Amino acid sequence: MTRLILSALLSLLLSLGASAAPIKLATEGAYPPFNTLDDAGKVSGFDIDLGNELCKRAGLECVWVTNEWDTLIANLTASNYDAIVSDMTITDDRLKTIDFTDEYFPPDPSNYLSVAGKLYDYSALKGLKLGAPSGSAQASYLQSLKADNTIIAVDADQAIADLNAGTLDLYLAEGSYVDEQVAASNGALKSDGPDIPIGKGAAIGVRKADTDLKGKLNTALAAVKADGWLDALIAKYFPDLGPAPYFKPN
């Protein structure tokens, strides 16, 4: 009898330990100001501040892992982590594979980043070296142009060097990212071309079966929207985005 009780207690403890495993949040760590690595190699930025706050409000223990952008979704579906918090835009193609929470960043039209002083005809982009983040919705958009261009998948941290070196003519990225790079360039770079709406807003990627986690994150998202916390965070990291509120009331 004693052995049976001990065995039952052990099974209970093991099950409790398993359920208490921390939630793993994945981010790229190379797309400032959304996410980056500080001098100590620790993740920081808008996505990280948001993820930490959502975990706190949802009562979840969370840890961060970094992953290259173009394999973020593959590793999520392989259960190597539980959610993607990396400024991932909701697109129809991605919805075929994973699910998303409600949006945490409003739709952000894309723009081209280029070297100041250079002029391009955006009505007929031909014969240029065009770049976009690897595996991004912007890269898919460039491919859809079907023009006589060289399309280069360039991670954000390499794009600036390639533009300055002339190995890249234009880099297509979300307008908020482009504006940050222009502001930090001391006049060397410019935001150019028309606003290009690509996808919806950014949200947290989760596996389709993880409805419980999605529900907890959505509840926490609703709370940070309702009390103004998210508006304040967006204004902190993106002061040029315009005045709050950034989401229409439900």
Tell me the domains of the chain and their CATH numbers: 15-107+200-237 (3.40.190.10), 110-196 (3.40.190.10)
What confidence score (pLDDT) does residue 13 get? 47
Report residue 173 as tokens: 């990225």
What confidence score (pLDDT) does residue 123 get? 83
What parts of the chain have a pLDDT lower than 70?
1-20, 249-250
Classify residue 126 by burial, with Cβ atoms within 10 Å: 0-12, 13-18, 19+. Answer: exposed
What confidence score (pLDDT) does residue 185 get? 93
What confidence score (pLDDT) does residue 210 get? 97
What confidence score (pLDDT) does residue 195 get? 93
In angstroms, rounded to a whole number, what is the distance separating the alpha carbons of residues 86 and 24? Answer: 13
What confidence score (pLDDT) does residue 20 get? 66
Report residue 186 as tokens: 């001391």
Contact, 23 vs 220, CB < 8 A? no
In angstroms, rounded to a whole number, what is the distance separating the alpha carbons of residues 245 and 103? Answer: 14
Report residue 208 as tokens: 């389709």
DSSP for 86-155, please give it: EEEEP-HHHHTT-EEEEEEE----EEEEEETT----TTS--S-EEEE-TT-HHHHHHHHH--S-EEEE--
* Cα distances (angstroms) measured from residue 202 to each of 103, 147, 199, 231: 5, 28, 9, 14
Residue among 208, 174, 184, 196 at smallest CA distance from 87: 174
Task: Please give the backbone phi and psi of residue 87, each rounded to the nearest 5 degrees, phi first.
Answer: 50, 50
Task: Please give the backbone phi and psi of residue 214, each rounded to the nearest 5 degrees, phi first.
Answer: -60, -45
| Pairing of β 129-132 and β 150-153 | parallel
What confidence score (pLDDT) does residue 18 get? 44
Predicted structure pTM score? 0.81
What confidence score (pLDDT) does residue 249 get? 66
In angstroms, rounded to a whole number, what is the distance separating the alpha carbons of residues 54 and 83? Answer: 12
Percent pLDDT > 90 in the chain is 70
